[in-house]
């Protein structure tokens, strides 16, 4: 079979399928590469339908390997972190990781309502709901055994035939609706297949709950006996039972939490009962799992694994998906230098992109696709430019801010009402500044959300914003965002940073909201003439101007040096301050007089002094000067230099202006 050659231009090569055929067809062979690159769908179900996930777009991670190997039972991750992708991959996998039998349980709203309302007299809510899940697992296992015994083992022992009778008598041979199983467990099961007549023995159970539990124990015992008779634990890989998408039916209410706790209790019970014959995998959203509180929780910590994504892993995922859509010969260098620009601003493009999305595949996929669509569909380009990335960033940031409030709408319905506290300000926020903003909005928040008044305190708001990933906290030289095993926000921590993902949507793109140095604009607002009441000095204009400009430069260097000595000041804030002062320094143009608008040099000094005072006031208002960050010394230096420049502008030629320095 002839393999098409790779021409000189990357954007012109033809893509091969696994069979060696021209994957895209002759009519698409000359399309630019950018038109063919796609990073997939945001949800795993459609990714599977489109074929990208199973065509090389899935990146095996620690959670997937732990699921395949059976080391973990509970996979926890935020929305969009790839839980369902692992499910879809396991359901479709036909390679060495495949299982002889597998089933995926995804409850719908009807089932959720049935489970939430399920109660049995004599049993606590968690235990009653655990019975439902145990019955679900038993029915799936029984169905598997009935079909599997003949196909894989060549015979059906009596225990398997008994299970077949039970399934038929109770109408459980087919159907996957949880609501159906809730109904089956609530009514009396037909247990004649196990030799138990209706009303005999089991009828003397002390309560409704005890009766349901005893019926279920008979079914589970029959399933376990069939696994033993077939020796499935040693003959082949186990039956794989998975539960996903519980967030569809979760509502942060007591009954919903009880439903999830019941699932965890049932999975633990089934794992012990069926041993190596059955492997259970539960996929839970992190906010749901973290909201649970139950006595048996300490017994499942060893079964937990939280999905985490590093920038390196997201970069690998991007390349895998680009290759899956545009051809296996695409290299990382080609992706990040020929499809995307090599850099955006002063930052390497991959770092720029993945730093501005939450660390999860869904966000990365959306941002990457949006960059591609902005360049190819909107602007008709055959490669992405830095301008395309920045334009996409504005849309992506707005999406993510809205998505964050929707993601946590059930647990934190007030979340979107907190975002205005951060609009059009610096992304670095001190505790003092946030307290001032919060106090102005506190009454309104309590009026809108009276049920959450106890949580809507300054510390409560900080905890929520940190937990959902909106705010990070400064710790040493790093800014830490929620995830992994990091500590929650501590009372002594005072400096917070808005996540880069949300800054563009909020207009918080600089560390501190410092006013720019614009003397030309200010000149239009100043009165002409000798408005400051000082006597003009008879000196050489050039000499005096040169000397005064040198004094401005001296003030700038003094302030910059003070900022650089403030080692505890966050680097972003220090860069913002130094950048603002450097703009003043640039305006001196190496000591050569420059005039903007209608300002003369004395007025320029007064404007600069006023600018230094305004920067000092802004730093003080930001709250940075309240802690041990070194910002207080920078504020004092700004104020000192402002006073010195005013004296220079209003004093005589022979005065140095340093008398009070």
DSSP 250: -
E strand map for 251-295: 278-285
Residue pair 289/257 in contact by the 8 Å Cβ criterion:
no
CB neighbourhood size of 221 (10 A): 14
Q: What is the DSSP pairing of strand 471-475 with strand 495-498?
A: antiparallel
Fold of 10-45+315-403: Helicase, Ruva Protein; domain 3 (1.10.8)
Helix (H) or strand (E) run with residue 428 in it: strand 428-430
Q: Which two tokens stand for residue 371?
A: 């960059």
Q: Are 341 and 389 in contact (CB under 8 A)?
A: yes
Global pTM value:
0.75
Please list the alpha-helical segments (H only) found in 251-310. 254-274, 286-290
CA 22/CA 17 separation, integer angstroms:
6
- Dihedral sign computed on CA atoms, order 610, 420, 359, 480: positive
Instruction: Give me the pLDDT at residue 20, please.
Output: 36
The span from the CA of 354 to the CA of 367, in Å, is 9
Q: Spell out the domain ranges in the chain.
A: 10-45+315-403, 62-306, 408-506, 519-650
DSSP 8-state class, residue 338: I
Using alpha carbons, select from 242, 240, 196, 239 the residue that is nearest to residue 216.
Answer: 196
Distance (Å, whole) CA 130 – CA 264: 8
Measured between alpha carbons, how far is residue 585 from residues 558, 582, 606, 609, 611 in Å?
11, 5, 15, 13, 13
Is 478 in a helix, a strand, or coil? strand
Helix (H) or strand (E) holding 222: helix 208-230
Point out the residues of the chain with pLDDT beneath 70: 1-30, 44-45, 47-57, 93-98, 109-110, 175-187, 198-206, 328, 484-485, 515-543, 589-600, 627-628, 651-661
Q: Which residues contact 45 (CB under 8 A, 6 or more apart)?
A: 84, 88
Cα–Cα distance measured from residue 16 to residue 368, given in angstroms and rounded to the nearest whole number: 23
pLDDT, residue 461, reads 96
User: What pLDDT score does 537 carry?
Assistant: 35
Handedness of CA 283, 288, 289, 293 (dihedral sign): negative
Q: CB–CB of 528/604 below 8 Å? A: no
Q: 41: closest CA among 52, 54, 27, 56?
A: 52
For residue 498, what is the enclosing H or E element? strand 495-498
Question: Helices marked H in 349-408 — which ranges?
Answer: 349-355, 361-373, 386-407
Rounded Cα–Cα distance for residues 169 and 216 (Å): 15
Cα–Cα dist 69/63, whole Å: 10
Give the tokens for residue 151: 């196909």
- Rounded CA separation 52/40 (Å): 6
């Amino acid at each position: 079979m002839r393999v098409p050659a790779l021409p000189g231009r990357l954007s012109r090569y033809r893509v091969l399928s696994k069979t060696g055929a021209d994957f895209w067809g002759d009519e698409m062979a000359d399309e630019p590469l950018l038109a063919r690159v796609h990073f997939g769908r945001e949800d795993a179900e459609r990714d599977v339908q489109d074929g990208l996930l199973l065509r090389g777009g899935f990146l095996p991670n620690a959670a997937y390997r732990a699921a395949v190997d059976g080391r973990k039972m509970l996979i926890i991750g935020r929305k969009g972190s790839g839980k369902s992708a692992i499910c879809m991959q396991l359901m479709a996998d036909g390679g060495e990781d495949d299982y002889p039998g597998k089933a995926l349980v995804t409850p719908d709203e009807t089932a959720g309502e049935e489970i939430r309302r399920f109660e049995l007299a004599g049993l606590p809510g968690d235990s009653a709901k655990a019975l439902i899940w145990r019955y679900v697992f038993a029915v799936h296992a029984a169905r598997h055994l009935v079909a599997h015994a003949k196909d894989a083992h060549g015979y059906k022992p009596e225990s398997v035939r008994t299970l077949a009778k039970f399934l038929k008598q109770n109408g459980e041979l087919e159907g996957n609706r949880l609501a159906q199983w809730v109904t089956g467990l609530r009514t009396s099961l037909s247990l004649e297949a196990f030799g138990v007549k209706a009303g005999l023995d089991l009828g003397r159970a002390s309560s409704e709950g005890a009766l349901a539990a005893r019926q279920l124990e008979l079914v589970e015992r029959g399933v376990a006996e069939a696994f033993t008779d077939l020796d499935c634990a040693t003959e082949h890989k186990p039956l794989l039972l998975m539960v996903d998408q519980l967030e569809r039916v979760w509502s942060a209410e007591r009954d919903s939490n009880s439903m999830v706790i019941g699932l965890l209790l049932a999975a633990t019970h089934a794992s012990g009962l069926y041993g190596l014959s059955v492997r259970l995998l539960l996929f839970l959203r992190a906010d749901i799992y973290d909201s649970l509180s139950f006595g048996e929780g300490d017994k499942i910590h060893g079964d937990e694994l939280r999905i985490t994504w590093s920038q390196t892993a997201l970069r690998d995922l991007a390349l895998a998906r680009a290759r899956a859509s545009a051809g296996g010969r695409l290299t990382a260098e080609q992706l990040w230098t020929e499809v995307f620009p090599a850099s955006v601003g002063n930052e390497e493009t991959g770092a720029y992109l993945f730093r501005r999305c939450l660390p999860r595949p869904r966000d990365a996929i959306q941002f990457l696709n949006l960059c591609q669509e902005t360049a190819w569909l909107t602007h008709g380009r055959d490669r992405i430019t830095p301008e395309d990335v920045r334009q996409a960033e504005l849309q992506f940031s707005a999406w993510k801010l809205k998505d964050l409030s929707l993601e946590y709408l059930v647990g934190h319905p007030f979340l979107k009402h907190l975002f205005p506290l951060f609009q059009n300000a610096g992304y670095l926020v001190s505790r003092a500044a946030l307290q001032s903003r919060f106090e102005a909005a506190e009454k309104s928040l309590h009026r809108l959300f009276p049920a959450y008044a106890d949580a809507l305190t300054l510390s409560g708001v900080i905890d929520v914003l940190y937990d959902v990933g909106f705010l990070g906290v400064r710790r040493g030289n790093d800014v830490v965002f929620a995830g992994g095993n990091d500590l929650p926000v501590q009372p002594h921590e005072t400096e917070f940073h808005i996540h880069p993902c949300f800054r563009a949507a909020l207009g918080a793109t600089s560390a501190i909201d410092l006013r720019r140095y614009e003397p030309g604009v200010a000149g239009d607002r100043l009165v002409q003439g000798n408005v400051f009441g000082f006597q003009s000095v008879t000196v050489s204009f050039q000499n005096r101007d040169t000397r005064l400009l040198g004094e401005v430069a001296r003030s700038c260097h003094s302030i910059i040096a003070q900022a650089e000595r403030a080692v505890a000041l966050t680097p972003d804030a220090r860069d913002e301050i130094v950048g603002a002062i450097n703009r003043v320094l640039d305006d001196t143009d190496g000591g050569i007089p420059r005039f903007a608008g209608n300002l003369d040099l004395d007025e320029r000094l007064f404007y600069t002094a006023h600018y230094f005072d305004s920067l000092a006031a802004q730093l003080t208002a930001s709250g940075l000067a309240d802690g041990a960050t070194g910002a207080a010394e920078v504020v004092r230096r700004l104020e000192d230099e402002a006073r010195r420049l005013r004296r220079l502008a209003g004093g005589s030629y022979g005065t140095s202006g340093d008398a009070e320095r």
